[in-house]
């Protein structure tokens, strides 16, 4: 059951193999496609997304990649704080969705599964 005023917040992360615009486009699309697929999201109900990137990602803003892919929602990108032993080449996202999702699936992929093994998507 979807409640008209309910909001679901989803999160996810992905690692890039190298800091190139093509790779950032690819992994950003993989991450969002999996969030949409695993949660049966409708594009028109996505309200906004905030991305964060580690400081070694400089060739392209993932929010730009999302805009170029056709998402017309508020998008924002920030640089993550630097910490000792923090992962490198990492893009994270927080996505706001208008609608209640019975069991939200957060997506960590392309190596980022190590960040939240407790949220691994079971293989069916």
Q: What is the pLDDT of residue 124?
A: 41
- Smallest CA-to-CA distance from 11 within 24, 23, 22, 38 is with 38
Question: Looking at per-residue confidence, does 120 or 75 come out higher?
Answer: 75
Residues 74, 94, 83, 30: is their CA dihedral positive or negative?
negative
Q: Has residue 84 got a pLDDT over 50?
A: yes
Helix H, strand E, coil C: the string for 34-86 is HHHHHHCCCHHHEEEEEEEECCCCCCCCHHHHHHHCCCCCCEEEEECCCCCCC
Architecture of domain 7-119: 2-Layer Sandwich (3.30)
Would you list the domain boundaries of the chain?
7-119
Question: pLDDT at residue 120 above 80?
Answer: no
The string of pLDDT tens digits covering residues 31-76 is 999 999 999 999 999 999 999 999 999 999 999 999 999 999 999 9
What average pLDDT does the chain have? 92
pLDDT at residue 122 in the model: 59
Quote the pLDDT of residue 100.
87
CB neighbour class for 66 (10 Å; exposed up to 12, middle 13-18, buried from 19): buried
pLDDT of residue 118: 84
Average pLDDT over residues 12-19: 97
Residue 117, pLDDT score: 82
The per-residue pLDDT for 91 is 98
């Amino acid at each position: 059951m979807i409640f008209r005023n309910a909001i679901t917040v989803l999160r996810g992360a992905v690692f890039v193999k190298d800091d190139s615009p093509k790779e950032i486009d690819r992994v950003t699309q993989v991450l969002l496609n999996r969030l949409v697929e695993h949660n049966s999201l409708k594009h028109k109900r996505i309200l906004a997304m905030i991305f964060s990137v580690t400081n070694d990602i400089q060739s392209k803003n993932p929010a730009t990649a999302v805009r170029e892919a056709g998402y017309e929602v508020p998008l924002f990108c920030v640089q993550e704080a630097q910490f000792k032993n923090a992962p490198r080449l990492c893009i994270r996202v927080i996505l706001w969705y208008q609608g209640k999702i019975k069991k939200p699936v957060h997506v960590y992929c392309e190596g980022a599964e190590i960040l939240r093994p407790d949220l691994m998507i079971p293989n069916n």
